[in-house]
């Protein structure tokens, strides 16, 4: 059961909580608010791409995931790191310590308390934007999704609706909340074909000109229990 829930998180995205934190933790950059009606979809995406045109970024995250059929809701929080292209590191602090790390080729899921690491091929788990993999390269949004701007956007935000260009059961819809002050992606909501919901809020976003590649690798030490994700997907 625990393994299936870990895999589900990888396929769904991760999670989210705390709408009040969203309002209070937006970046303090001085760019003035822009009327959403004055920018086209292409202009919004161009500004997002320009904002993230750095090698990488990091952010605190707060997440919630709801599995509809099982009536399960989980929440978690921690720190995440992203680097072009395809590199991610999610460090969970609550409720349990866990790390999800990928260099774009390999994937490691490490649980320190169990001294256990699960390994697999990253493309199998993060293709088509799954696991928020587009955050490691914002230009992937144009390639993988068709998009519209939601008409009834919240004040100070552009809300983009993303639909996968290729049919997938893991992601049916994605909504991005983009600050009209900073053009940072501050909230994400995803749905899969089963009606499961994944939400995430980012705060304390820090764009980075230099981000060490060592963050996106993992050394398997002697004594660690090693499981292979591709051999356990159906268990």
User: 49-84 pLDDT, tens per residue?
Assistant: 899 989 999 999 999 999 988 889 999 999 999 998
Give the confidence band of 184 by pLDDT, cuts at 50, 70, 90. very high
Q: For the chain, what are the domain ranges? A: 2-231
Looking up tokens 């978690």, which residue turns up? Answer: 76
Per residue in 20-52, pLDDT (tens digit) is: 233 333 333 333 444 545 789 999 999 998 999
CATH 2.50.20.10 fits 2-231, yes or no: yes
The residue among 69, 76, 72 whose CA lies nearest residue 195 is: 69
Mean pLDDT of 130-141: 73
CB 137 within 8 A of CB 84: yes
Average pLDDT over residues 166-181: 86
Note the pLDDT of residue 35.
Answer: 54
């Amino acid at each position: 059961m625990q393994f299936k829930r870990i895999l589900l998180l990888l396929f769904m995205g991760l999670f989210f909580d705390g709408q009040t934190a969203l309002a209070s933790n937006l970046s303090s950059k001085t760019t003035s608010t822009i009327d959403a009606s004055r920018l086209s979809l292409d202009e919004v995406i161009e500004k997002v791409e320009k904002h993230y045109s750095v090698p990488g970024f990091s952010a605190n995250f707060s997440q919630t995931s709801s599995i509809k059929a099982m009536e399960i809701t989980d929440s978690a929080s921690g720190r995440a790191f992203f680097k072009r292209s395809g590199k991610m590191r999610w460090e969970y602090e609550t409720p349990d310590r866990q790390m999800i790390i990928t260099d774009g080729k390999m994937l490691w899921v490490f649980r320190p308390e169990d001294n256990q690491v699960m390994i697999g091929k990253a493309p199998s788990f993060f293709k088509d934007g799954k696991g928020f993999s587009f955050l490691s390269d914002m230009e992937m949004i144009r390639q993988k999704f068709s998009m519209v701007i939601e008409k009834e956007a919240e004040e100070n935000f552009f809300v983009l609706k993303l639909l996968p260009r290729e049919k997938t059961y893991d992601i049916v819809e994605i909504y991005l909340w983009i600050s009209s002050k900073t053009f940072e992606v501050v909230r994400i909501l995803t749905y899969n074909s089963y009606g499961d919901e994944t939400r995430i809020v980012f705060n304390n976003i820090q764009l980075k000109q230099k981000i060490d590649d060592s963050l996106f690798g993992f050394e398997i030490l002697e004594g660690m229990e090693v499981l292979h994700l591709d051999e356990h997907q159906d268990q």
